[in-house]
């Protein structure tokens, strides 16, 4: 049944069209774009972007695509690289919950850059973005879900985003099936990334690099650069090499009928999504106790992945705070807040917060879901308070509403643009489906 | 003992200098550069390069570096990408025998491109190239030699060349230890590639992409883009993720005392190096039998890796001929030749050759070394002839001489340049150590 996986996905990509997308998928895809664009603004002033802009300004190609929030235009692949890093670097981007893949950043960044270089209407854009997200998530499902065995160290977005991007960009470039097959193969030849670099700029390099890789793959394939016709499923191919016993049917089952974007979540808090139920529980306890109660002990009972992925006890930098469940528990309990302010150095270095952080006990419990957490707090006066979150805010069972997303967007974009310009950009992005030249019209509203 | 691997290698890179290289290592490194440059000319007219040039001409950056043999200049990373593919695409590039890594293409292509953008003298160039080759081979040793267990599908050059290139380019950019550590980490975040695409253009995409990846890593790190300080050895880091039980001491044992380039081999035949002993044996038998004897049966007894890597029975393209041990056995027995002419379509499609190819019996024998083969031929008249090659031509025990390499260079460069210009380029390359501005002086002799 694995026979022909690459061709099946390529055929799906080539045939994909806006009209075939169910209404909720269209709406989710617009939200994915909107959330991505807001996150780009949120992150575009970070040091990593300044460094990337310096290199790209010296080495990049013709100025056809915008580096959002910076006074720089460059070639599509380099613009996508930087815009994707911006969208990732505050750990505020979306996440596909079954695989903890971040599906929108690479595809949206690539598609936006390409759409600045040629007329792509809003419906084509939405279709391509839905396609990129769909393939990235489905390939991630096959890699990471049982019966597949894969090294925990592999960073899923780095492995599967290149193919999602290649398919999405390839769709805009109107590749035929043969060239789409090659594009997927060239993309998978760039699948890379492991988790040890989390908490550094390089954690965000990898999705950015995946956007570059996918664009480059699609462009080469469009011009006839060939590849094996079965790169994904062949012996010594992508799945055979990166995983063991992967069930490739996960990548194609009910393709075009079920949509993985419906399992994609938007973050209310700027940190690893596996931390979110713990934050909800700590905010709930803070609400119960009020601001003056003194806390004695804190125990977090969480899904084991939360500690594997975000178990940094003492973050030293903003980027390390993204992967410190201890930091967020402490800060939520002590301040009642969990926003961008709580990733800043003054908060990370705050003595009260770091003191509590160092005493928190975290217990992995395999019986708890990835969106679930139980937090137990003992007060100095002896009182015990427990909060059990079954579905974190932002998760599929407790999703961010459109209004939540618009509010998040306005805060993020507002860090760069005046509020009226941010509101205007929000209107354009919300009306993505109606745009006749998506890249040009969104770019005009960027104020770049 | 694995503790600090990334730092140890970074420190070695930062401290490396031409004066510390033993004479044979300097001489080998010049040969590596010469062989690389000849292979670039050999491959630069291939379709894959035409396609790559088209994309790079549209998307590439400022014209600071030469795409050799083509009328194109572009940014360093894209020039290195294309020149490395040229050097790889005829399967005529060098190979590190213990790991079947191809160490010179990515590093030489990257260094040549960078050296066109700033004054680098010949000794600095040689030191950086020796460094890049050394790290790539040592990381490959640790990944692939016992006790390490690694999926057979992983393509070693794609996994380790990014780090070799990053170190080599980082040395030219005069990175300090901290930034060199980051460069290695960013490079390893791009380690990618599997074997299923062998026999297609994408097989050669991967070393080219490694050259790009390493340059990009060094440039980002030079400007302060950070990474983990232990990306290679950390839990969930490069080795932990890509292999199991790797002995990281293999990467550092006798660093600066033993040099892996001394185990690097230059190819006399344009195909996978594991095919070479079989070609030697077949040419020997052809010599014994003469051109008119009719062959009845052929049995190849070879190291198992020869069949795993190059077991394609019926090649349909030039690129597939590189991985068909059957093709080379047939063509050597029937024509007495094994050069670039034997990779052309008229030879691949020749009825006599394809008829013999289809009847050859190949037997894997674990007792045979990777440079060893036994070929047994039965003639129609009943006569049996056997040839046992213990060390293939071009291997460490039977190396190509400087004169062999010069002759190979002249043939390859002669496919593009007039003979006097090729001879002039040969003189410049042979005198690499004496050049004051290596990039400028070699570029002036390219006739680009």
Nearest CA in chain A to B76: A59
CA distance B52 to chain A (A): 7
User: Which helix (DSSP H) or strand (DSSP E) does residue B387 occupy?
Assistant: strand B384-389
CA distance A74 to chain B (A): 9
Nearest CA in chain B to A49: B225
The mean pLDDT of chain A is 96
Q: If DSSP codes are grouped into helix, strand and coil, which group holds residue B266? A: coil
Question: How many CB atoms sit inside 10 A of residue A150's CB?
Answer: 19
Closest partner residue to B200 (CB to CB) among A54, A58, A226 is: A226
Q: What pLDDT sits at residue A3? A: 65
Q: If DSSP codes are grouped into helix, strand and coil, which group holds residue A297? A: strand
> Mean pLDDT over residues A51-70, rounded?
98
Q: Which of A224, A133, A225, A129 is nearest to A169 (CA)?
A: A129
In degrees and rounded to multiples of 5, residue B149 shows phi and psi of -115, 125
CA distance B205 to chain A (A): 8
A192 touches B at CB < 8 Å? yes
Per the rule left: phi > 0, alpha: psi between -120 and 50, beta: everything else, B378 is beta
**In the predicted model, is pLDDT for residue A125 greater than 70?**
yes
Q: If DSSP codes are grouped into helix, strand and coil, which group holds residue B123? A: helix
Report the C-alpha gap between A179 and A190 in whole angstroms.
17
Q: Which of residues 4-63 of A touch B (CB under 8 A)?
A: 47-48, 51-52, 54-55, 58-62
Rg of the Cα trace of chain A? 21
Report the C-alpha gap between A46 and A43 in whole angstroms.
6
Report the C-alpha gap between B311 and A102 in whole angstroms.
39
Interface confidence (ipTM) of the complex = 0.94
Q: Which of A271, A272, A411, A282 is nearest to A353 (CA)?
A: A282
Report the C-alpha gap between A421 and A425 in whole angstroms.
6
Contacts of B359 (CB under 8 A, 6+ apart): B297, B298
Nearest CA in chain B to A183: B202
Q: If DSSP codes are grouped into helix, strand and coil, which group holds residue A229? A: coil
> Mean pLDDT over residues B127-155, rounded?
97
**In the predicted model, is pLDDT for residue B448 greater than 90?**
no
Taking CB atoms and an 8 Å limit, are A151 and B241 in contact across chains? yes
- Mutate which of A49, A110, A194 to test chain B, going by most B C-beta atoms within 10 A? A194
Helix A23-43 with A104-117: angle, nearest 10 deg: 90
DSSP assignment of A67-109, as one string? ETTTTEEE-HHHHHHHHHHHHHTTS-S-EETTTTB--HHHHHH
Taking CB atoms and an 8 Å limit, are B52 and A225 in contact across chains? yes
What is the separation of C-alpha A247 from the centre of its chain, rounded to a whole number of angstroms? 24
**In the predicted model, is pLDDT for residue B325 greater than 70?**
yes
Closest partner residue to B209 (CB to CB) among A152, A190, A199 is: A190
Report the C-alpha gap between B384 and B378 in whole angstroms.
4
B173 touches A at CB < 8 Å? no
Report the C-alpha gap between A336 and A281 in whole angstroms.
11
A235 touches B at CB < 8 Å? yes
- Residue A370: pLDDT band (50, 70, 90) is confident
B245 touches A at CB < 8 Å? no
Closest partner residue to B220 (CB to CB) among A52, A225, A236 is: A52
Q: Tell me whether strands B264-265 and B95-96 are parallel, antiparallel or unpaired.
A: antiparallel
Q: Give the largest Cα separation in chain B, rounded.
A: 72
Question: How many CB atoms sit inside 10 A of residue B308's CB?
Answer: 14
Q: Which of B204, B196, B202 is nearest to A231 (CA)?
A: B196
DSSP assignment of B217-263, as one string? HHHHHHTT----TTTTTSTTSHHHHHEES--THHHHTTBTTB-GGGG
∠ CA(B59), CA(B63), CA(B65), 5° rounding? 110
- Residue A1: pLDDT band (50, 70, 90) is very low
B255 touches A at CB < 8 Å? no
Contact B318, B344 (CB under 8 A): yes
- B194 bridge partner residues: B154
Q: What pLDDT sits at residue A438? A: 98
Q: Report the half-sphere exposure of A44 (CA within 13 A, side-chain side).
A: 27
Closest partner residue to A189 (CB to CB) among B192, B230, B237 is: B192
Q: What pLDDT sits at residue B2? A: 52
CA distance B222 to chain A (A): 9
> Mean pLDDT over residues A14-31, rounded?
98
> Mean pLDDT over residues A116-138, rounded?
98
Report the C-alpha gap between A199 and A320 in whole angstroms.
4
Report the C-alpha gap between B57 and B77 in whole angstroms.
13
Nearest CA in chain B to A205: B186
Contact B86, B72 (CB under 8 A): no
CA distance A243 to chain B (A): 9
Taking CB atoms and an 8 Å limit, are B240 and A194 in contact across chains? yes
Closest partner residue to B225 (CB to CB) among A52, A190, A240 is: A52
Q: What pLDDT sits at residue B1? A: 41
- Where do runs of H (alpha helix) occur along B350-414? 351-359, 402-414
Report the C-alpha gap between B166 and B221 in whole angstroms.
9
B186 touches A at CB < 8 Å? yes
Q: What pLDDT sits at residue A2? A: 52
> Mean pLDDT over residues B420-437, rounded?
98
Query: pLDDT tens, B42-79?
Result: 999 999 999 999 999 999 999 999 999 998 999 999 99
Closest partner residue to B194 (CB to CB) among A52, A151, A241 is: A241
Report the C-alpha gap between A106 and A136 in whole angstroms.
10
For residue B55, list chain A residues with Cβ-Cβ distance below 8 A.
Answer: 216, 219-220, 223
Taking CB atoms and an 8 Å limit, are A230 and B196 in contact across chains? yes
- Mutate which of A236, A309, A318 to test chain B, going by most B C-beta atoms within 10 A? A236
Report the C-alpha gap between A342 and A319 in whole angstroms.
12
Taking CB atoms and an 8 Å limit, are B182 and A191 in contact across chains? no
Q: What pLDDT sits at residue B232? A: 98
For residue B242, list chain A residues with Cβ-Cβ distance below 8 A.
Answer: 151, 194
**In the predicted model, is pLDDT for residue B227 greater than 50?**
yes
Per the rule left: phi > 0, alpha: psi between -120 and 50, beta: everything else, B127 is alpha
pTM of the model: 0.95
Report the C-alpha gap between A359 and A50 in whole angstroms.
36
> Mean pLDDT over residues B404-421, rounded?
96
Q: What is the dihedral of CA A139, A144, A145, A148, to 10 degrees?
A: 100
Taking CB atoms and an 8 Å limit, are A59 and B194 in contact across chains? no
Nearest CA in chain B to A309: B236
For residue B191, list chain A residues with Cβ-Cβ distance below 8 A.
Answer: 192
- Residue A448: pLDDT band (50, 70, 90) is confident
Residue count (chain B) = 448
Give CB contacts under 8 A, 24+ apart, made by B339-343: B339/B269, B339/B270, B340/B42, B340/B90, B340/B92, B340/B270, B340/B411, B343/B90, B343/B270, B343/B271, B343/B318
In degrees and rounded to multiples of 5, residue B334 shows phi and psi of -90, -30
For residue B219, list chain A residues with Cβ-Cβ distance below 8 A.
Answer: 55, 59
User: Which helix (DSSP H) or strand (DSSP E) does residue A302 occupy?
Assistant: strand A295-302
A186 touches B at CB < 8 Å? yes
In degrees and rounded to multiples of 5, residue B352 shows phi and psi of -65, -45
Provide the sign of the torsion angle of the four alpha carbons A270, A276, A278, A283, taken in this order: positive
Contacts of B13 (CB under 8 A, 6+ apart): B131, B135, B167, B170, B171, B175, B180
Query: pLDDT tens, A315-366?
Result: 999 999 999 999 999 999 999 999 999 999 999 999 999 999 999 999 999 9
Report the C-alpha gap between B366 and B144 in whole angstroms.
17
Closest partner residue to A200 (CB to CB) among B158, B190, B228 is: B228
Q: Tell me whether strands B384-389 and B373-379 are parallel, antiparallel or unpaired.
A: antiparallel
Per the rule left: phi > 0, alpha: psi between -120 and 50, beta: everything else, A268 is alpha
Q: Give the largest Cα separation in chain A, rounded.
A: 72
The mean pLDDT of chain B is 96
Query: pLDDT tens, A405-440?
Result: 999 999 999 999 999 999 999 999 999 999 999 999
Closest partner residue to B194 (CB to CB) among A75, A76, A236 is: A236
**In the predicted model, is pLDDT for residue A377 greater than 80?**
yes
B214 touches A at CB < 8 Å? no
Report the C-alpha gap between B304 and B282 in whole angstroms.
18
Q: If DSSP codes are grouped into helix, strand and coil, which group holds residue B139? A: helix
CA distance A2 to chain B (A): 15
CA distance B63 to chain A (A): 10
Contacts of A323 (CB under 8 A, 6+ apart): A198, A199, A271, A272, A309, A310, A311, A312, A315
For residue B158, list chain A residues with Cβ-Cβ distance below 8 A.
Answer: 189
Nearest CA in chain B to A150: B241
What secondary structure letter does DSSP report for B401? P
Nearest CA in chain B to A191: B192
Q: Tell me whether strands B264-265 and B65-67 are parallel, antiparallel or unpaired.
A: unpaired
CA distance B32 to chain A (A): 26
Rg of the Cα trace of chain B? 21
For residue A81, list chain B residues with Cβ-Cβ distance below 8 A.
Answer: none
For residue A3, list chain B residues with Cβ-Cβ distance below 8 A.
Answer: none
Contacts of B23 (CB under 8 A, 6+ apart): none
For residue A182, list chain B residues with Cβ-Cβ distance below 8 A.
Answer: 202
Q: Which of residues 363-382 of B touch A (CB under 8 A)?
A: none
- Residue A447: pLDDT band (50, 70, 90) is confident
∠ CA(B221), CA(B131), CA(B37), 5° rounding? 100
A231 touches B at CB < 8 Å? yes
Question: How many CB atoms sit inside 10 A of residue A108's CB?
Answer: 33
> Mean pLDDT over residues B286-307, rounded?
95
Q: If DSSP codes are grouped into helix, strand and coil, which group holds residue B24? A: helix
């Amino acid at each position: 049944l694995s026979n022909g996986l690459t061709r099946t996905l390529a055929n799906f990509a080539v045939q994909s069209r806006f009209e075939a997308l169910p209404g909720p998928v269209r709406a989710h895809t617009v939200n994915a774009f909107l959330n991505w664009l807001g996150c780009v603004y949120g992150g575009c002033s970070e040091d990593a972007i300044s460094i990337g802009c310096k290199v790209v300004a010296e080495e990049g190609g013709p100025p056809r695509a915008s580096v959002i929030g910076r006074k720089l235009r460059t070639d599509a692949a380099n613009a996508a690289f930087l815009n994707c890093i911006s969208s990732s670097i505050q750990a505020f981007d979306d996440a596909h919950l079954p695989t903890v893949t971040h599906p929108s950043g690479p595809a949206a960044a690539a598609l936006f850059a390409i759409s600045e270089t040629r007329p792509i209407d809003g419906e084509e854009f939405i279709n391509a973005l839905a396609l990129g997200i769909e393939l990235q998530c489905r390939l991630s499902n096959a890699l990471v879900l049982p019966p597949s065995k894969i090294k925990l160290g592999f960073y899923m977005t780095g492995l599967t985003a290149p193919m999602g991007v290649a398919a999405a960009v390839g769709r805009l470039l109107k590749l035929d099936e043969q060239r789409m097959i090659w594009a997927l193969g060239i993309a998978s030849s760039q699948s890379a990334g492991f988790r040890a670099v989390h908490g550094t700029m390089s954690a965000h390099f990898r999705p950015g690099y995946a956007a570059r890789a996918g664009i480059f793959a699609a462009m080469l394939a469009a011009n006839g650069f060939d590849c094996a016709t079965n790169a994904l499923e062949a012996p010594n191919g992508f799945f055979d090499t990166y995983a063991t016993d992967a069930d490739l049917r996960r990548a194609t089952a009910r393709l075009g009928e079920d949509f993985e974007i419906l399992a994609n979540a938007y973050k209310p808090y700027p940190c690893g999504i596996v931390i979110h139920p713990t934050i909800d529980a700590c905010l709930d306890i803070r609400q119960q106790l009020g601001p003056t109660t003194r806390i004695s002990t804190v125990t977090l009972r969480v899904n084991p992945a939360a500690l594997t992925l975000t178990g940094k006890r003492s973050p030293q930098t903003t980027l390390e705070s993204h992967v410190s469940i201890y930091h967020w528990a402490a800060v939520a309990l002590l301040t009642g807040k969990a926003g961008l302010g709580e990733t800043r150095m003054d908060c990370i270095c705050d003595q009260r917060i770091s003191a509590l952080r160092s005493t928190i006990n975290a217990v992995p419990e395999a019986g708890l879901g990835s969106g679930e957490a139980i937090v137990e707090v003992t007060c100095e006066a002896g009182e015990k308070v427990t909060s059990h979150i079954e579905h974190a805010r932002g998760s599929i069972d407790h999703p961010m509403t459109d209004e939540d997303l618009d509010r998040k967007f306005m805060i993020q974009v507002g860090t760069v643009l005046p509020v009226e310009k941010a509101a205007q950009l929000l209107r354009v992005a919300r009306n993505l489906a109606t745009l006749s030249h998506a890249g040009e019209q969104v770019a005009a509203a960027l104020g770049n």
